Structure 1
Amino acid sequence: IKDGATPVVIERGPFTYKTRFLPKHNITFNPNHTASFLLPTIATFEPNMSVGTEDEEVVVLNLAVAVSELYMISLHCSSNSSLFQKRSVKELLWGYTDPLLKDTLSLFENGTYDGPYNVFTGKDDIAKVATIESYKGERELPYWNDTFCNMINGTDASSFAPFVDKKKPLYFFSSDICRSVSASYMRSYPLKGITVYRYSLLHSTLASPVDNPENHCYCRDREVTKNCTLAGVLDISTCQMGKPIYISLPHFLFASPLLREQVQGLSPNEEHHETFLDVEPTTGFTLNFAKRIQINMMYGPSKVITVLKKVKNYTIFPIVWMNETASLDDATADMLKEELVSRIQLLATVQQALLGAGVAIFIVCLISYCCVRRNTNQGKQA
């Protein structure tokens, strides 16, 4: 590969972690009808739902190679440097100390906090409930050098304003990809007896600026992105301390064919690789979701790094893809059906009864009016 051959990848997994969402920390209600909080998460390995242990070794791109120029380190100083390396799953995901960089490299962080978030409570306007007012104390993101792309739109996707209109997209902010996105209505279906709306990310979310001009401000490196014509990837290096990290859908779903030509062994499948939300339309609660994203790192030609001197093209190389899911459990479904669906059905019954009573009263009044009118006419004739 260091001589220019096309890399071949083989998917290995799943390695499953149960992410327990703890109660929000530092909840503070503010005078302007907002509430601020931190979101803590803890991931625990689930061996019974995994194909192997955390200690299983996998061959992956040497992360130190990808970030070496960032740290101003020349890997030609080490005869052991290579483009790929063996690391355990645990090391790759949660961190290891690189002997060259003398720093800890990882793809994720465990036992950390996201935020603080400041969201509207909806007390003064129910349409704004759960909408993010600011993130980390800022009303705009600092990453994209453009007002439009820096906008923090919508909620955190766990809930939306009630009485969801399927004709309108849902907007939400994802700190994982450092930007706001929207999802559009696809279909309705019953989830454990509760009707939900399925919303999915559109192809245009990660489209190139050629196909979606609104994405122009997400294009940062014209050489890597072929003059901003490359679709399906998002360069988030600006929010990752300059590390060449690119986000995409798994297996480069909806991406430019070039990305799959540069790496063999990928098989995108919309059913298995799309991101979606299932939202209960009356409350606006998200009852089921799958957030599927792929983390890639870029490597390319270098005059100072020995293993990259013969590399001809920039390659966006898949490292790992995650399928973060959550679904409504039976107990919560029964509670919702009892507290929500049954009351909605009761309201519908009352509505029909009132409508029926109104029709009956109208008919009685009409008959009475006709009788009075007929009697009046008969009195005039007499």
Structure 2
Amino acid sequence: MCSRCSNKAKQWWSIGISALICVLALVFGVAWPLIVRSETEKLLLLQPGSQVFENWKEPPVPMYLEIYLWNWTNTEDYRSDGYKPRLEQLGPYTFREIHERVDLQWNDDFTLSFYQKRIWHYEPQLSTGDLENDIVISINPILLTVGFATKDNPLQSWLDLMINASPHVIDSPFYVVRAKEILFEGHDDYFLESLLYIVEQAPEIIGDVELPPFDKFGWFYERNESKTYDGKFTVGTGVDAFETMGMMHLWNNVRQTVFYRGECGLVHGSTGEIWPPFQEYYNTNVTVFSPDICSSMSLEFDGDFSLHGVDGFKWKGNERPFDNGHRYIETECQCTAPKEECPVLAPGVLDVSRCKWGAPATVSYPHFYLADQTYRDAVDGMNPDKEQHEFVLALEPHTGVPLTVKAQLQVNLMVKQYGLTLLEGIPDVMLPILWFRQRADLSEELANDIKLLLILPDIGMYIGIGLGVVGAICLGLALYFSLIIWRTDKSV
């Protein structure tokens, strides 16, 4: 305070400065959080230049795909009495997974359309086993698919005759292949080649039998770096409303798929990598759309979660996604048989045959975790474990950033004779073929960025409180001096 000012000036200066401090306290306490919220919203929307968009386009978090193969070890006596398949788990064969979004199209309805490339690089140091040389024995999926697709078709007798008359083309119901062939490289299947040739020359002979559009067979054959395999996605950007960000609007330009009836065929949920920010996620379920099953999965809220000091919530896969209408009436539409015949499958597996070119395929949790006991009893080698086989997702709710993802599913084949001579005596089982775990964890570096973003509103509040205390003290002193000390105007 100036020593040469009049007492009147001192009064005005002291009260003015105190009031200014109080106003600054109010600005930091009220306006600062609003400013931070506004700037944070710009970072978290899916739009060009935002941090979320850049992280979504080139994810900074390492992602891995771990694949386990089921090796059928006792195929030599499969026609004996009391026979049960004995399965041996091989792997994991671990791959670094990279996602690239291409052909981006910003739409007028605040949505974004794109294709997704998934790129896998083998990581031998993170793997168990030898991808190059491990031998895997399993059922021939092409033979099984043909039998399944023609089981009620007059064409089956002709196809069966062709198979039996061509032992050089196929002479066994089993595949004996190397791990790399059954996964990404593909296996030369002469039976498949013959069928594709017939389709090319005389498609009416095969009729409605749907074949994979590949010249080899592998569960991930021609998927590596494919732009179109996962389909075309259309998701909300969040510009119109936060709750739409990252949520599926369309898949392959449709809102309703042909693979399931009613709600089960509805395209909805997140793609799993970006989620709406500023949402009340507590004690609510979330939904993930997966092109691998041509459907959505609802995950159950499972409490609190923390990673690298960032707190969030966790969700898990429960019995509901693969229930088939046994315990949850809304899952009845998962059944692909005529409605009056449903449910066909016991709970615990999802029929994905229409999604996978007519193959008699199902999806479950690994080792038939949470599935009906009959599935596990039909084969040897199943050891379901919650810690190892549970489907898990955790999010930080303020930013919508995933903290951890452990998405794991098992591919099975419905093995039956299906009227084919070559499959005679084959056991009637739900046969596990492989299971995979897709995992990613928030890095410590990104966790530190999130923690800073989360405390920014509090920093303003604490500064506001501090300035408010200082301002109140200054105002009190100003009033004291003005009323007691500077009552008379004594200029110096």
The TM-score bracket by the shorter chain reads: 0.7 to 0.9
Instruction: State which of 218, 225, 230 in structure 2 corresponds to 1:106.
Output: 218
Partner in structure 2 of residue 86 of structure 1: 176
Q: Distance in 2 between matches of 1:229 and 1:248?
A: 12
| Corresponding residue SS for 1:44 | strand
Q: How far does residue 204 in structure 1 lie from its aligned partner after superposition?
A: 1.6
Q: How far does residue 295 in structure 1 lie from its aligned partner after superposition?
A: 0.7
Check whether the contact 2:324–2:334 (CA below 8 A) recurs between aligned residues.
Answer: no
Higher relative contact order (Cα pairs below 8 Å, separated by 6+ residues)? 2
Write out aligned runs for 1:317-328 (5 A). Answer: 317-328=431-442
- 2:146 is aligned with what amino acid? S
1:77-103: per-residue Cα shift (whole Å, max 9, x none)?
344622323111111112223112214
Write out aligned runs for 1:1-382 (5 A). Answer: 1-3=78-80, 5-22=83-100, 24-50=101-127, 51-69=129-147, 70=149, 72=156, 73-74=159-160, 75-79=163-167, 81-94=171-184, 95-102=186-193, 103-108=215-220, 109-113=223-227, 114-144=230-260, 146-164=261-279, 165-221=281-337, 227-228=343-344, 230-303=346-419, 305-311=420-426, 314-333=428-447, 337-338=448-449, 340-351=450-461, 354=464
Shift of the 77–331 alpha-carbon distance from structure 1 to 2, 3 Å rule, reads farther
| Corresponding residue SS for 1:14 | strand
- 1:159 is aligned with what amino acid? I
1:192-250: per-residue Cα shift (whole Å, max 9, x none)?
1211221111222212412111111112248xx99535011011011111111111110
Q: Distance in 2 between matches of 1:16 and 1:77?
A: 41
Check whether the contact 1:210–1:228 (CA below 8 A) recurs between aligned residues.
Answer: no
Q: Distance in 1 between matches of 2:345 and 2:361?
A: 18
Shift of the 58–226 alpha-carbon distance from structure 1 to 2, 3 Å rule, reads farther
| Corresponding residue SS for 1:100 | helix
| Corresponding residue SS for 2:405 | strand
Shift of the 124–39 alpha-carbon distance from structure 1 to 2, 3 Å rule, reads same
Check whether the contact 2:172–2:422 (CA below 8 A) recurs between aligned residues.
Answer: yes
1:28-49: per-residue Cα shift (whole Å, max 9, x none)?
1111111111110111211222
Gaps of 5+ in 2: 1-77, 151-155, 194-214, 476-492
- 1:351 is aligned with what amino acid? M
The alignment-based identity, stated in percent, is 26
Partner in structure 2 of residue 376 of structure 1: none
Check whether the contact 2:324–2:333 (CA below 8 A) recurs between aligned residues.
Answer: no
Q: TM-score, normalised by structure 1?
A: 0.85
Shift of the 29–226 alpha-carbon distance from structure 1 to 2, 3 Å rule, reads closer
Check whether the contact 1:204–1:212 (CA below 8 A) recurs between aligned residues.
Answer: yes
Q: Distance in 2 between matches of 1:252 and 1:161?
A: 32
- 1:44 is aligned with what amino acid? H
Q: How far does residue 289 in structure 1 lie from its aligned partner after superposition?
A: 0.5
Q: Distance in 2 between matches of 1:97 and 1:241?
A: 19
Q: TM-score, normalised by structure 2?
A: 0.67
Check whether the contact 2:285–2:298 (CA below 8 A) recurs between aligned residues.
Answer: yes
Compare CA radii of gyration and give the structure with the larger one: 2
Check whether the contact 1:2–1:83 (CA below 8 A) recurs between aligned residues.
Answer: no
| Corresponding residue SS for 2:143 | helix
Q: Distance in 2 between matches of 1:343 and 1:219?
A: 45
Q: Distance in 1 between matches of 2:296 and 2:118?
A: 21
1:244-269: per-residue Cα shift (whole Å, max 9, x none)?
11111100001111111111111001
Q: Distance in 2 between matches of 1:52 and 1:179?
A: 33
1:123-176: per-residue Cα shift (whole Å, max 9, x none)?
1111211111111111111211x2211111121011111123212211221111
Gaps of 5+ in 1: 366-382
Q: How far does residue 357 in structure 1 lie from its aligned partner after superposition?
A: 7.8
Check whether the contact 1:36–1:119 (CA below 8 A) recurs between aligned residues.
Answer: yes
Check whether the contact 2:366–2:435 (CA below 8 A) recurs between aligned residues.
Answer: yes
Q: Distance in 2 between matches of 1:141 and 1:126?
A: 26
Q: How far does residue 331 in structure 1 lie from its aligned partner after superposition?
A: 3.1
Shift of the 2–42 alpha-carbon distance from structure 1 to 2, 3 Å rule, reads farther
State the Cα RMSD in Å: 2.6
Check whether the contact 2:395–2:402 (CA below 8 A) recurs between aligned residues.
Answer: yes
- 2:165 is aligned with what amino acid? C
Check whether the contact 2:305–2:394 (CA below 8 A) recurs between aligned residues.
Answer: no
- 2:192 is aligned with what amino acid? L
Shift of the 208–358 alpha-carbon distance from structure 1 to 2, 3 Å rule, reads farther
Q: How far does residue 326 in structure 1 lie from its aligned partner after superposition?
A: 1.4
- 2:444 is aligned with what amino acid? D
Q: Distance in 2 between matches of 1:296 and 1:78?
A: 28
Check whether the contact 2:348–2:364 (CA below 8 A) recurs between aligned residues.
Answer: yes
Check whether the contact 2:335–2:342 (CA below 8 A) recurs between aligned residues.
Answer: no
